Structure 1
Amino acid sequence: MYTILVPVDADEDRARGQAAFVTELPSADTQIKAIVTHALTKEEAEAPEEIRNVERISTVRLVREYLEDHEVDVELAEGTQPPADGIRDLADEFDVDQIVMGSRKRSPTGKAVFGSVSQQVLLEADDPVTVVGSRDE
């Protein structure tokens, strides 16, 4: 089984791009497990346990449903703050084979530098990191 960590933020188009990338990989429906995560904010993490659930995040639900519709095995995991550290921690915990990050559209100058979380994960992760763009519905 090939395990992919899919950390999503609040942008649905980026989340769709990440999910689509995973489903387009060879044997996605039989040999890939996706760990979908979102770093809860301090307020979310301190909420009562019955409402502190990563599945309450709309982009997490969107990616989970998209992947399940394409018969990809999915597991949800709660990320921690700061997000880049939480992503690396989850990558280690689940012994992932790849991390699939979303990216924002940038100007030609801005393309030289990814967002701070993506850039930090790219620079510090021990696992391969793929950065994908947004997809509209």
Structure 2
Amino acid sequence: MKHVLLALDESDDRAVAQAETVRDLFDTEHTTAHLLHDFTDNFEGASVGQIAAVRHAANILEDAGIAVEYHETSGSPSTSIIEAADELDVDAITIAGRERSKAGKVLFGSVSQEVILGTDRPVLVCSRRTEE
């Protein structure tokens, strides 16, 4: 059984990219996807299941036969991702970068970079496929 952590924010495009990557790369019958959302500001007391991007990713994964578990944290996103990956003992972490200019594509965003450099687990950086 493989366990994959999807670090999801509120972007539907990035959540879809991560879910599609997990669906396409992992054995759907023997994978559990751990959907993590870090609330940096949660004044209304929302839960992870109320985030539209998380629900969309879950639908893609569940439709493919992948087991889904929900997790939420509050604090520094990169620290929360790394700590959750360690606590869950996942086999891989997925993150999704933001769109950047051609020059900006050389660098990852700060959260992505901190996760990549802060863990010894494989990190998949996912992007949405563009149709040409």
**TM-score (ref. length: structure 1):** 0.88
Aligned residues: 130
Paired residue type of 2:23: T
8 Å CA contact retained: 1:104, 1:134:
no
Which of structure 1's runs of 4+ aligned residues deviate more than 3 A?
none
Aligned positions of 1:106-125 closer than 5 A: 106-125=100-119
Gap change, CA 1:90 and 1:26, over 3 Å in 2: closer
Deviations, residues 91-125 of structure 1 (Å, cap 9, x unaligned): 01100010010112222211111111111101111
Tell me how large the CA RMSD over aligned residues is: 1.5
Tell me, in whole angstroms, the C-alpha distance in 1 between the residues paired with 2:128 and 2:74.
Answer: 24
Paired residue type of 1:36: L
- 1:18 counterpart = 2:18: yes
Tell me, in whole angstroms, the C-alpha distance in 1 between the residues paired with 2:56 and 2:40.
Answer: 19
Corresponding residue number in structure 1 for 2:93: 99
Partner of 1:92, secondary structure, is: helix
Q: How much has 1:40 moved relative to structure 2?
A: 0.9
Paired residue type of 1:129: V
